[in-house]
Amino acid sequence: METVFIKTPLGYTKIEGNHEGLSSISVLESQEKESLVIPQFLEDAVYQLREYFEGSRQKFDLRLNPEGTEFQKRVWKALLDVPYGKTLSYWDLSNILGDVKAIRAVAAANGKNPLWIVIPCHRIIGSDGSLTGYAGGVHRKKWLLDHENPVKQQSLF
């Protein structure tokens, strides 16, 4: 398993993976030393995450290899279909997966997402529009949603 640390607008990010794909991307609460050497297997992830934060990338094209239960993997796969700049509620996601009664299990799987930003769990919100349940902190969820859907100032003229 290879590891790299990069600095992002939301803090230091740890990226892990190998030839089978990315297994983990997480934002850290601690300050890390940014990696000077990027392992070959992680170059695309670093490049694409930087593009995302610069605002020039809306969709990732990376080989993913997250570890989880079959149910978690189904939820994470469904998250990949939530478009950039859009949100769904946990209820909506449960409905897409075919069982609205599984809303708590869907929320729990969403919270266990090991691939921060790339699997866009930040795009899932409460049914009332609230920014609930984000492992990276609600302030980061708000930042990501604002980044993906910035309010454009309308011209008066």
CB 46, CB 6: distance < 8 Å:
yes
What span, in angstroms and rounded, lies between the C-alpha atoms of 90 and 134?
12
Distance CA 73, CA 113 (A): 9
Question: Of the residues 79, 121, 125, 144, which is catalytic?
Answer: 121
121 in catalytic set: yes
Integer angstrom CA distances of residue 133 from 56, 137, 142, 146? 27, 8, 12, 17
Which residues are designated catalytic? Answer: 121
